[in-house]
Amino acid sequence: MSMWVIFRKEIQAFFNSMVGYIVLSIFLVGTGLFTWIFPQTSLLNYGYAGLDTLFFITPFIYLFLIPAITMRAFAEEKQQGTIELLFTRPLTDYQIIIGKYLACWILVIFALAPTLLYYFSIYELGATRGNIDSAATAGSYLGLILLGGVFTAIGILASALTDNQIIAFITAVFLCFILYAGFSSLANISIWSNYSFIISQLSLDFHYNALSKGLIDSRNVIYFLSYIILFLYLTKVTLENLRK
């Protein structure tokens, strides 16, 4: 038995549940409404070709979408008493964690993939064909994928901390919000003076916005990957404590 068995099991469990389809539908409807329909944010009212609305609103939809995907990862196992059975399998903690993590992250990417139609629509239908900043768009999508990876790692940890899926959901939403927007909001307080910029660099949105400019700096990528590794390690520590 390998982590890929865990991976397939998680994917199947998600799509065997109506919750999975509801979560994905809400994400696509939400991004579609903000990007194309609502007058205040519709790109049709911008007068130029760009997906700024999509890339601004998606991280905030992620705050609820991803915890909804990850909340059952370990919490449900503990609630149903199957976590002990999982521990008896010939699997290391990292194989269990990575199997569940990759399944949830792939689901996030799967939810994001249909929005590529927005890019191709603008590319083909603009007043001037191809009049869209493809480099910035590619950077923004990379940022969303990496941001989704961090939020997924946070959600996996939150699920490992409790046997209650609702508590796992709320914990993940809170942690994701603090790391995404909390530091940048804190940096705006005038008392920090020269340290404001340093504090803002701790936030996920700082590095996400940097990638969205189309200049893919390895430091931003490493920043996201470091968070992913950190939260997966904390999940491993949590599982080790459960085994005791």
Domain boundaries, the chain: 3-243
**Nearest residue to 172 (alpha-carbon basis) of 71, 57, 97:** 71
* Residue 86, C-beta contacts closer than 8 angstroms, at least 6 positions apart: 77, 96
Q: How far apart are CA 32 and CA 38, in angstroms?
A: 9
| Torsion of the alpha carbons at 11, 204, 58 and 162, rounded to the nearest 10 | 40
* Model pTM score: 0.92
Query: Half-sphere exposure of 231 toward its Cβ, with a 13 Å CA cutoff?
Result: 23
Enter the DSSP assignment of 131: -
Structure tokens given for 21: 């389809």
Q: How many residues in total does the chain contain?
A: 244
Per-residue pLDDT of the chain (244 residues; tens, 9 = 90+): 578 889 999 999 888 888 788 888 989 999 988 888 887 778 777 666 678 889 999 999 999 999 999 999 999 999 988 888 888 888 899 999 999 999 999 999 999 999 999 888 887 776 666 678 888 899 999 999 999 999 999 999 999 999 999 999 999 999 999 999 888 878 777 776 677 778 888 899 999 999 988 778 899 999 999 999 999 999 999 999 887 6
Whose tokens are 């995404």? That residue is 180
CA distance 189 to 115: 35
**Alpha carbons 229 and 15: distance in angstroms, whole number:** 27
Buried b (16+ CB within 10 A) or exposed e, 42-77: ebeeeeebbbebbbebbbebbbbbbbbbbbbbbbbb
Closest of 59, 230, 241 to residue 153, by C-alpha: 230
CA-CA distance, 239 to 214, in Å (whole number)? 39
Which pair of tokens denotes residue 171? 């914990």
